Amino acid sequence: MSQGRRRNDEIATLLEEFADLLDAKRVEYKPRSYRRAAENIREYTKPIEDLAAEGQDAVEEIQGVGDAISGKVVEYFETGEIEELEELREELPVDMRELTSVEGVGPKTVGDLYEALGITTLDELEEAAEAGEIQEVKGYGAKTEENILENIPFARQSQERELLGDARPLADSVLDYLRSVDSVERADVAGSIRRWKETIGDVDVLVASEAGESVVDAFTEWPDADSTIEAGTSKASVRAAGIRIDLRVVVPEEFGAALQYFTGSKEHNVHLRNVAIARDLKMNEYGIFDVSDVEDTSDQRAGTRVGGQTEEEMYAALDLPSIPPELREDTGEIEAAEAGELPDLLIVDDIRGDLHTHTDWSDGDNTIAEMVAGAAERGYDYHVVSDHATGPGMVGGVGLDDDELREQMDAVAAVAEDASIEVLHGVEANIDAEGDISVDDDLLAELDVVVASPHSALGQDRAEATERIVRAIEHPSVDILGHPTGRLIHTRPGLELDYERIAEAAVEHETALEVNANPHRLDLNDAGVRAAVEAGATIAVDTDAHTPETLDFVRYGVHTARRGWAETSDVLNARDVDGLREFLH
């Protein structure tokens, strides 16, 4: 993430806080405007700081940013604060992010509980719930209090790790920077972010260089770093955008060994070391060594080095192909490598279109034509418009009713006439608590693509939730099960599902299971993908994009699918348009 984009994110975060505080004070209409502006500023491709320097009119070029908000943006860059936001913070001195991380606690609840009980922190919320004080507040009962208390542990856990989607752009930025440093020969990320886990603790960066101190100096001078935590001769840590980034510099001949070792997972490495031991080899962060003639192996570099400069050498010394980082969880990947049966994993370039996207007809920010143009710019062969339908979980007039969906058919067809790629008309219908679909059956049959997704009643038990989703899969018009659990990482757990049962139903009824690539969802997760792949179900990797820029989320979905061992042949939208239409019809 460049310095300019970081400032965009910075001002967007402030506007989101502004919206939450207005919501907490039960101000109508304004919060939605601030959130829309924040989203568009965060995704704006140019530095907003440059626009602010030109004045309010320039800032208002960003969609959804009007006179009032542009004035606050300019004020922030000129003075370092937004006076009205500071006043709101004084009126409501709450830790909004911490409190709203509890499922069921939104900004309005925060405002109510502050006014009634003076609650400002998660600890105070927990104390009040345990004391039975929340149920005494007007509008809140014992059940609400019980739910809050039950969800606090999940909220605490969620605050300990960062979303992949927040950390990965920062990791890409620091890698670009380090690779431009003359003394750096190679640089890569390691740890859970290299395995593309959905959340990460911090960003681990590994560099190959003969000049460790020089690299450390350059690293601590990285423009995006907010502060230096510590710095030595070959290691350093900085904080950027609230995320800790740890650097380790190793000599080039040991880079591959270190990259393999620090990528992990621990379980994968332990299993791999046992394979090495059985062959009289020693494997560690410094290399892989033949110790068959060595009595004392306590020295980490004892023995004859047989690999270490590259990861491929580390695996080749064990007669194994290099195992993709996403698979390194000790869930059968080493056995598959030994048998020559590693999957030929999906890659981002295999994706030929997006089957789940939104426009300004529902809650998207862009027109149908703009979204289609964004897909064409990505080099896609086709694009599906699938706006929300009305139904459970849709609030604020977001969804389209049946008449509006029929009207949209003509609008999509008009854009399709002039488009350079295939444009299909679909819908994201809602799955209610019983598994029924929120759109008329006759209309569903007329649409090109039907995505059905759960948005409400996400607290059902496993058996009930599974049967609900299976019933939706069985609907003859449903083509894709969208974000099957409905979860939002760090916000709500979503439905607990029997993935094997879901996968079996998907195979039987020829319904694709979505990997929703939005980094707040990544749903199906890797375990769900693995169950689907093993059952022979079809996967769809979609972004749920609400802007052309968020079509780029596809990489998070692809890597999640890779973690679930998905191959190109498993993925619906890796097929050409004829293959797609064959599946749909």
Separation of alpha carbons 114 and 134, rounded Å: 11
Of the two residues 106 and 263, the one the predictor is more confident about is 263
Separation of alpha carbons 343 and 336, rounded Å: 8
Report whether pLDDT(393) > 80.
no
Superfamily of domain 162-250: Beta Polymerase, domain 2 (3.30.460.10)
Q: Is 160 helix (H, G, I), strand (E, B) or coil?
A: coil
Kind of pairing between the strands at 227-231 and 449-454: unpaired
227, 289, 211, 214: which is closest to 257 by C-alpha? 289
Asked, colleague to colleague, whether 255-338 and 348-584 share their fold, the answer is: no
pLDDT at 161: 83
**Which of the following CATH numbers is that of domain 3-158: 3.30.70.1140, 1.10.150.110, 3.30.70.260, 3.30.450.370?**
1.10.150.110
Mean pLDDT estimate for the chain: 93
Query: Residue 432 contacts by C-beta under 8 Å, 6 or more apart in sequence?
Result: 391, 392, 438, 456, 457
Residue located via tokens 């993925």: 571
Of the two residues 300 and 340, the one the predictor is more confident about is 340
Residues 534-542, mean pLDDT to the nearest whole number: 98
pLDDT in tens, 295-311: 887 788 999 999 999 99
Q: Token pair of 117, please?
A: 């009980």
Report whether pLDDT(394) > 70.
no
Residues 381-398, mean pLDDT to the nearest whole number: 82
pLDDT at 46: 78
Report whether pLDDT(395) > 70.
no
Separation of alpha carbons 329 and 565, rounded Å: 12
Q: Which fold has domain 255-338?
A: Beta Polymerase; domain 3 (3.30.210)
Separation of alpha carbons 130 and 503, rounded Å: 41
Where b means 16+ CB within 10 Å and e means fewer, 39-49 reads bbbbbbeebbb
pLDDT at 396: 54
Calculate the alpha carbon distances from 170 to 11, 349, 412, 576 in Å.
17, 22, 37, 33
CB 97 within 8 A of CB 14: no
Calculate the alpha carbon distances from 110 to 122, 250, 395, 457, 489 in Å.
11, 48, 20, 22, 20
Residue type, 469: I
Kind of pairing between the strands at 203-208 and 227-231: unpaired
Can you give the pTM of this predicted structure? 0.79
Q: Is 347 helix (H, G, I), strand (E, B) or coil?
A: coil
Domain covering 348-584: architecture: Alpha-Beta Barrel (3.20)
Separation of alpha carbons 131 and 83, rounded Å: 37
Separation of alpha carbons 258 and 118, rounded Å: 51
544: number of CA atoms within 13 Å, CB side? Answer: 23
Q: Token pair of 118, please?
A: 């003076």
Residues 100-114, mean pLDDT to the nearest whole number: 90
CB 440 within 8 A of CB 434: no
Of the two residues 184 and 102, the one the predictor is more confident about is 184
Extents of the domains making up the chain: 3-158, 162-250, 255-338, 348-584
Binning pLDDT at 50, 70 and 90, where does residue 101 land?
A: confident
Query: Residue 395 contacts by C-beta under 8 Å, 6 or more apart in sequence?
Result: none
Q: Token pair of 556, please?
A: 């998070």
pLDDT at 29: 85
Secondary structure of 507-534 in the HEC alphabet? HHCCCEEEEECCCCCCECCHHHHHHHHH
pLDDT > 70: what percent of the chain?
A: 97
Separation of alpha carbons 42 and 5, rounded Å: 7
Give residue 139's region: left, alpha or beta (phi > 0; psi -120 to 50): left
pLDDT in tens, 12-32: 889 999 999 999 999 988 898
CB 484 within 8 A of CB 524: yes
pLDDT in tens, 138-149: 999 999 999 899
Report whether pLDDT(4) > 60.
no
CB 4 within 8 A of CB 46: yes
pLDDT at 3: 52
